[in-house]
Amino acid sequence: MLGGQEFAVRTKRIYQKEMTSDCWPVQVWGLAYCSGFGDYEQMCEYLATDECGGQGIRKKILTGRFPLSGLPDAESKRE
The predicted structure's pLDDT at residue 57:
92
d(CA 21, CA 75): 23
User: For position 78, what pLDDT does the model report?
Assistant: 58
Closest C-alpha to 28, from 40, 20, 38: 20
Write out pLDDT tens, residues 24-42. 999 998 888 888 766 777 7
- The confidence score (pLDDT) of residue 47 equals 87
Looking at residue 76, its pLDDT comes to 73
pLDDT at 77: 62
Handedness of CA 16, 21, 24, 30 (dihedral sign): negative
Rounded to two decimals, the pTM is 0.75
